[in-house]
């Protein structure tokens, strides 16, 4: 039986790129959906917060010098594009997915309403949260912490390209050690880049644990929800 019954999966936009410079790699998104489907079949309720860096990267040059709030709203729209692509891929693979946006684009996607999101989760649907928190100056990490707390998730799973939190950059330091678990306070004291400070503080204050793992390791998501030693657990 899964250890976690309701999870919030935080996916970066870059996770959808595969080996492409930007945009969405179809084979990559289908593989990620297959990983999600595996845990849904175990009876786990899954919500997803997705970033938009892969889309925004394609227009980053034109955004140089832009007002921060405007650039952040563009980033939110990029997350909506990713969420729609992810939801479509899930539905094509037999999952029932619902995309909900923190900014109103009624003709494209339904607005985020907490009771409705909870209803979808209880019905076994995967809920994909788009547009971050709906406000500029907040990252999708913060959106993951916020939505995770709102829906009563047992854990936030931050899916990255690295299989956990290390004492140093493993690409630069061959002696870097992966932490099996670490407290929020210790991670902050050691200035480990787990999430942005706002998201980190929210998770700590809400006693919402975070597990950092690699979405590119086959079966890693399933192993995480079953409580196996995968990635790094950050806890109170």
- What is the model's pLDDT at position 77? 94
184: annotated binding-site residue? no
53: annotated binding-site residue? yes
Tens of pLDDT, residues 155-190: 999 998 889 999 888 888 888 999 999 999 999 888
198: annotated binding-site residue? no
163: annotated binding-site residue? no
- What is the model's pLDDT at position 84? 97
- What is the model's pLDDT at position 49? 98
- What is the model's pLDDT at position 2? 85
pTM, two decimal places: 0.94
22: annotated binding-site residue? no
> Is pLDDT of 62 > 70?
no
Tens of pLDDT, residues 181-215: 999 999 988 888 889 889 999 999 999 999 999 99
185: annotated binding-site residue? no
Cα separations (Å) of 210 from 7, 191, 207, 220? 10, 16, 10, 15
- What is the model's pLDDT at position 60? 59
18: annotated binding-site residue? no
Q: How sure is the predictor about 102, in pLDDT bands with cuts at 50, 70 and 90?
A: very high
171: annotated binding-site residue? no
- What is the model's pLDDT at position 21? 79
82: annotated binding-site residue? no
68: annotated binding-site residue? no
Which CATH number is 6-164+193-235 given?
A: 3.40.1160.10
> Is pLDDT of 57 > 80?
no
Order of all β-strands in the sheet with 45-50: 110-111, 97-101, 126-130, 45-50, 6-11, 155-160, 210-214, 232-235, 181-183
> Is pLDDT of 61 > 80?
no
Instruction: Write a three-state SS string for 90-140.
Output: HHHCCCCEEEEECCCECCCEEECCHHHHHHHHHCCCEEEEECCCCCCCCCH
161: annotated binding-site residue? no
65: annotated binding-site residue? no
- What is the model's pLDDT at position 43? 96
Tell me the domain boundaries of the chain. Answer: 6-164+193-235
Average pLDDT, the chain: 92
- What is the model's pLDDT at position 22? 82
Cα separations (Å) of 122 from 4, 95, 114, 197? 14, 14, 12, 31
Mean pLDDT (whole number) for 22-40: 94
134: annotated binding-site residue? yes
């Amino acid at each position: 039986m899964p250890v976690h019954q309701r999870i919030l999966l935080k996916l970066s936009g870059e996770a959808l790129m595969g080996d492409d410079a930007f945009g969405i790699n179809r084979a990559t998104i289908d593989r990620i959906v297959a990983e999600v489907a595996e845990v849904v079949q175990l009876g786990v309720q899954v919500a997803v917060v997705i970033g938009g860096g892969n889309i925004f990267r394609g227009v980053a040059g034109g955004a140089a010098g832009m007002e921060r709030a405007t650039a952040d709203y563009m980033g939110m729209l990029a997350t909506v594009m990713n969420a729609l692509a992810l939801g479509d891929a899930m539905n094509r693979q037999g999952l029932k997915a619902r995309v909900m946006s923190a900014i109103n684009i009624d003709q494209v996607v339904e607005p985020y309403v907490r009771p409705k999101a909870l209803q979808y989760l209880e019905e076994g649907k995967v809920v994909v949260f788009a547009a971050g928190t709906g406000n500029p100056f907040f990252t999708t990490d913060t959106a993951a912490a916020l939505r995770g707390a709102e829906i009563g998730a047992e854990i936030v799973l931050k899916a990255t390209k690295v299989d956990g939190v290390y004492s140093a950059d493993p690409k630069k330091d061959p002696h870097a050690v992966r932490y099996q678990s670490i407290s929020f306070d210790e991670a902050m004291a050691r200035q480990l880049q787990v999430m942005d400070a706002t998201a980190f503080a929210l998770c700590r204050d809400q006693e919402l644990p975070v597990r950092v793992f690699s979405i590119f390791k086959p079966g890693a998501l399933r192993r995480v929800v079953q409580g196996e030693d995968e990635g790094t657990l950050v806890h109170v």
